[in-house]
Structure 1
Amino acid sequence: MKSIENGGTHQPSTLSDDSEPPSSTTPNEVRNKLETILSDKELPRFKRLQLASSIELKLLFHVATPAVVVYMVNYFLFMSTQIFSGHLGNLDLAAASLGNTGIQFLSYGLLLGMGSAVETLCGQAYGASKHEMLGIYLQRSTILLMLTGVPLTIIYIFSKHILILLGQSSDVASAAAIFVYGLIPQIFAYAANFPIQKFMQSQSIVAPSAYISTATLLVHLLLSWVLVYRIGLGLLGASLVLSLSWWIIVVTQFIYIVKSERCKHTWTGFSRQAFSELPNFFILSASSAVMLCLETWYFQILVLLTGLLHNPQLALDSLSICMTITGLIFMISVGFNAAASVRVSNELGAGNPKSAAFSVIIVTSISFIIGVSLAGVVMVLRHFISYAFTSGETVANAVSDLCPLLAITLILNGIQPVLSGVAVGCGWQKFVAIVNVGCYYIVGIPLGAILGFKFNFGAKGIWSGMLGGTAIQTIILLWVTYRTDWKTEVEKTKKRLDKWKVNNGPANNE
Structure 2
Amino acid sequence: MRSSIWGTKIQHAWSIPPKIRNCSLGQSPSMASAASLFVYGLIPQVFAYAINFPIQKFLQAQSIVAPSAYISAGTLVVHLMLSWIMVYKLGLGLLGASLTLSLSWWIIVVGQFVYILMSHRCKATWTGFNSMAFGGLWEFVKLSSGSAVMLCLETWYFQILVLIAGLLENPELALDALSVCMGVNGLLFMVSVGFNAAASVRVGNELGAGNPKAAAFSVLTVTTVSFLIALVEAMIVLSVRHVISYAFTGGETVAHAVSDLCPLLAITIILNGIQPVLSGVAVGCGWQAYVAYVNVGCYYIVGIPLGLLLGFHFNFGVKGIWSGMIGGTGMQTFILLWSTFRTDWNKEVEKTNKRLDKWEASKETLLKE
Q: Same fold (TM over 0.5)?
A: yes
Query: 1:356 is matched by which residue type in structure 2?
Result: A
What letter matches 1:273 in structure 2? M
Amino acid at match of 2:75: T
Q: Which amino acid aligns with 2:106?
A: W
Whether 2:248 is the aligned partner of 1:389: answer yes
Distance across 2 between alignment mates of 1:164 and 1:187: 25
Contact 1:268 / 1:507 at 8 angstroms: preserved in 2?
Answer: no
1:226 to 80, 85, 103: 85
**Which residue of the partner structure matches residue 217 of structure 2?**
358
Q: TM-score by structure 1 length? A: 0.67
Range 303-312 or range 493-502, more displaced = 493-502
- In the alignment, does 2:348 pair up with 1:483? no
Instruction: Tell me, in whole angstroms, the C-alpha distance in 2 between the residues paired with 1:248 and 1:436.
Output: 33
The alignment covers a number of residue pairs equal to 353
Corresponding residue number in structure 2 for 1:432 = 291
Verify the 8 A CA contact 1:419 1:477 in the aligned structure 2: yes
Q: Does 1:204 align with 2:66?
A: no
Query: 1:225 is matched by which residue type in structure 2?
Result: W
Displacement of 1:490: 0.5
Deviation at 1:274, TM superposition (A): 2.2
Cross-structure match for 1:503: 363
Shift of 1:489: 0.4
Q: In the aligned structure 2, how far is the partner of 1:321 from the partner of 1:163?
A: 24
Deviation at residue 162 of structure 1 after TM alignment:
6.5
Equivalent position amino acid for 1:459 in 2: V
Aligned amino acid, residue 259 of structure 2: S
In structure 2, the residue matched to 1:458 is 317
Q: Counterpart of 1:474?
A: 333
| Greater RCO (Cα-Cα under 8 Å, separation 6 or more) | 1
Could you list the per-position Cα deviations for residues 295-328 of structure 1 after superposition, in whole angstroms to 9, with x for gaps in the alignment? Answer: 1111111111111111111111100110110111
Q: Give the C-alpha shift of residue 201 in structure 1.
A: 1.1
Distance apart, 1:182 and its partner CA: 1.1
Separation in structure 2 between the aligned mates of residue 451 and residue 440 of structure 1, nearest angstrom: 15
Matches within 5 A, 1:42-61: none
Partner of 1:401: 260
2:52 pairs, out of 187, 190, 193, with: 193
**Residue pair 2:75, 2:108 contacting (<8 A) in 1 also:** yes
Identity of aligned residues (%): 72
Q: Which moved more, 1:297-306 or 1:490-499?
A: 490-499
Contact 1:321 1:389 in 2 (8 A): yes
**Equivalent residue for 2:12?**
none
Cα drift, residue 499 of structure 1:
2.6
**Take 1:160 and 1:222, find their aligned partners in 2: how far apart are those partners?**
36
- Tell me the secondary structure at the aligned position of residue 254 of structure 1: helix
In structure 2, stretches of 5+ residues that fail to align are 5-15
The residue number in structure 2 matching 1:271 is: 130
CA distance in 2, matches of 1:380, 1:300: 26
**Paired residue secondary structure (1:268):** coil
CA contact (8 A) 2:143 2:288 kept: no
- Normalised by the length of structure 2, the TM-score is 0.92
Q: Which of 498-507 and 327-336 deviates more? A: 498-507
User: 1-side partners of 2:161 and 2:134: how far apart?
Assistant: 39
The match for 2:301 is: 442
Q: Residue in 1 aligned with 2:8?
A: none
Give yes or no for contact 2:21–2:33 (8 Å, CA) kept in 1.
Answer: no
Q: CA deviation at 1:262?
A: 1.2
1:64-463 alignment, distance < 5 Å: 161=20, 164-463=23-322
RMSD between superposed Cα atoms in Å: 2.0
Unaligned runs of 5+ in 1: 1-87, 89-156
| Counterpart code for 1:342 | V
Range 377-386 or range 170-179, more displaced: 170-179
Q: CA separation in 2, counterparts of 1:240 and 1:160?
A: 25
Three-state SS of the structure 2 residue aligned to 1:308 is coil
* Change in CA separation of 1:163 and 1:482 when aligned onto 2, cut-off 3 Å: farther
Contact 1:405 1:464 in 2 (8 A): yes
| SS of corresponding position for 2:241 | coil
